[in-house]
Structures are given as C-alpha cells and as structure tokens.
Amino acid sequence: MTTTTDTGTTTDTAATDADAVIEVSDLRKQYGARGPEALKGVSFTVAPGEIFGLLGPNGAGKTTTIGVLTTRVRPSSGSASIDGIDVAAQPQQVKRRIAVMPQRANLDRALTARENLTFHGAYFGVGLAARRRRADELLEEFGLADRATERVDNYSGGMAQRLMIARALMHQPVVLFLDEPTTGLDPQSRLFLWDRVAELRASGTTILLTTHDMAEADRLCDRIAIVDHGELIALDTPSGLRGLLPEGRGLDLVVRGRVDPAAAFEPMGVVETVELDDDRWRVRCFGEPNLAEAIAVAESNNCEVLDVHRLEGSLEDVFVHLTGRDLR
C-alpha cells in the first residue's frame, strides 16, 4: 500500500497495523516547553522479518526516534509500539523484546567473549544451560569460537562489532536495533557483518538500522525512511526511492582524446563531472541523455568512445534531490 506525505512524496507502507512489529504513529518530541522539536509527526510501520533503514544527517531525528522505540526517550505526543506493546506505557515489557547494538563498543573488555555473552543472557533471565548453549552457537556463527576464552581487550574493532551483535542476540529479541553497525570497519569485516545481518533477516529477526553508508542501506534494507529536520520526507524500497529522481538515469562514458570533452558535451546540458585519467576522460552525464547523440558528440570532437554504460541515481542523489544538500 502507498500513501502520500504532506510534501507530496510517495511512501510505501508494507506492513498493516495488524501485522506490524513496529508501529509509529504521529510521533512528536519537543525538548522543553520552548526547546527544539526533534520529531514532527513521524509515522511508519515495520513488518516481521523486515530490515528497515532510517537514513538522514545528524540532527534529523533518527536518534530521537530510536530513543523512543527503545524506551530511553519519552515522546511528547503520538504513539509507538513494539510487538503490540506501547513503549511509553509498558517500557519493561518492551525491553525484554528488543536488543540494541550501539555505534560505540560497550563490551566489558576485562571479560572474555563467552563471559560477555553469558552475563548478558543472565541479565535477561536466560537459564544457565540455555545461555551457555546459546553463547557457543553465536560465537560459532560470528566466527569467534576460536577466540571465545580470550579477553575482549585483545579484540580488533571488527571482532568487537561482531561480538556486540552476538551479545544483542543472546535473549533472541523480536527487534534488533543496529546503530551505524559498520562504522570504522575494514572492508572485509564490513562484508562479513552484512552477510550476518542478511542471515538474521532470513531467520525472521526484525531489524531497524540507522546508517550513513549508502551502499549499506541499498544492500541490506527492504525499505528506507529518509528523515530530515524531524520529519519523514520519503519512505520506500531502495529502487522506489531512486524512482523519485526526476532525472532518474544517466550515462557514464570513458573517452580518449586530446580535447577536454566537457566543452564538447556542454550543449547537451547534462554533464555533471569530467575526470582525466592519463589519456582517458571519464564523463558522467545525468538526466535522460540520448546515447547515440552522446557518442556522436564525442566522435565529432575526435574523442574515441572506449566504454559506456547507463547509470541509475544513487540514494545519495535521492537525498540531495529531496533536501537540497548532501547527506554528510
């Protein structure tokens, strides 16, 4: 089902109220009587087993939204529920059903990996035998079994991130909140975590993810909500969001020649960037450039076309289109 926001942006509401694991309705938060309004009527639902992304710059309202859903922030008005339980009215019931992986590691670095997991399980009332078994399963799943008895103080950043997700899963939460889960990780650790998150979705875990990483959001999220200045300005699948771009597609050409192709392509009115690499020029055109015309323009200016392919707009392009500025 799709709806339209006050700004005219099409949104995709995949989960009905009846089956939503997360339901947010007209959520508002103002800090103090005359303070800033961090949330201005945000509404969305998240379906069971969905990876739902919150995308926006610092100060957009992502942190406040997560704060409300995890019971750390009390809303000024509106409602939010997890698994049918109101977060403001029954916070303790909600806490048993969620897990949060913060952006910064908060593991007990004096303990071993296994101890971090079993202590967390004990806190949530998981029995002794069950938490030992669960800890071993998760250590194996996240590639830490051979370092299970090692103190976390010796772990790399990527290993610590993996352990934090494993810890969050000890009590088998209904909803897992991931806050910038791959910030600062090397490419290999990042890809490993992406694969584990995808596996969690396949197993039915509902995940709410905040990220600045466009590739991460595009690869992992079933749907993405773009928030800015406390408002939800767009909500759809990654491909649906790219469809909001009026220019939509473009061309990426690699040409060889002595003439700067920027001037040659200028009459087309679609050139965004021109980069020189040795004797090759990379020309990126947005809009709906005619491929045949682009090749003809290049060849008429003694530029040999070496490669050409069509482009889709990125999520970064979508954000710039909707807000008029870069995400970062």
Residue 97 lies in a domain: yes
What tens digit of pLDDT does each residue of 199-251 get?
998 889 999 999 888 888 999 999 999 999 999 999 999 989 988 876 556 67
Angle between helical axes of 113-123 and 157-168 (0-180°, round to 10): 30
Task: Quote the CA–CA distance of 267 and 272 in Å, as a whole number.
Answer: 13
The fraction of the chain above a pLDDT of 70, given in percent, is 88
Region 310-318 average pLDDT: 78
* Per-residue pLDDT at 9 exceeds 70: no
- CA separation for the pair 273, 293 (Å, rounded): 18
34-59 pLDDT, tens digit per residue, is 888 999 999 999 999 999 999 988 88
Q: Torsions phi, psi of 44, nearest 5?
A: -170, 165
| Domain shared by 51 and 166, yes or no | yes
Judged by average pLDDT, the poorest of 26-35, 165-174, 281-290 is 281-290
The arithmetic mean of pLDDT across residues 16-28, rounded, is 88
- Residue whose C-alpha is closest to residue 318's, from 241, 251, 252: 241
Judged against a pLDDT cut of 80, whether residue 187 lies above it is answered with yes
Q: Has residue 323 been placed in a domain?
A: no
> Is residue 8 domain-resident?
no
Average pLDDT over residues 90-117: 94
User: Residue 130 has which token pair?
Assistant: 């069950």
pLDDT digits (tens, 9 = 90+) for 101-111: 988 889 999 99
Quote the domain boundaries for residue 107: 22-243
b/e code 262-299 from CB counts within 10 Å (16+ = b): eebbeeeebbeebeeeeeebbbebbbebeeeebbebbe
| pLDDT for position 246 | 66
Greater pLDDT, 179 or 302: 179
Residue 70 tokens, joined: 């995890």
Q: Say if residue 219 is in the same domain as residue 251.
A: no
Picking from 243, 263, 297, the residue at the C-terminal end of a domain is 243
Q: Is the pLDDT of residue 173 over 70?
A: yes
Q: Looking at the domain assignment, is residue 160 inside a domain?
A: yes
State the Cα–Cα distance between residues 10 and 43, nearest whole angstrom: 14
Q: What pLDDT sits at residue 181?
A: 87
For 137-158, what is the mean pLDDT?
A: 96
The DSSP line for 218-235 is HHH-SEEEEEETTEEEEE
The closest of 234, 242, 314, 315 to 2, measured between CA atoms, is 234
Residue 127 has pLDDT above 80, yes or no: yes
- Say whether both 37 and 184 belong to one domain: yes
What pLDDT is attached to residue 12? 52
In this structure, the dihedral spanned by the alpha carbons of residues 62, 66, 72 and 78, taken in order and rounded to 10 degrees, is 90
Question: Does residue 328 lie in a domain region?
Answer: no
Long-range contacts of 283-286 (CB under 8 A, 24+ apart): 283/251, 283/252, 283/253, 283/254, 283/255, 284/250, 284/251, 284/252, 284/253, 284/311, 285/250, 285/251, 285/252, 285/253, 286/247, 286/249, 286/250, 286/311, 286/313
**Across all residues in the chain, what is the average pLDDT?**
86
Is the per-residue pLDDT at 1 higher than 60? no
Rounded to the nearest 10 degrees, what angle do helices 157-168 and 187-202 cross at?
A: 10
Q: How confident is the model at residue 145 (pLDDT cuts 50, 70, 90)?
A: very high
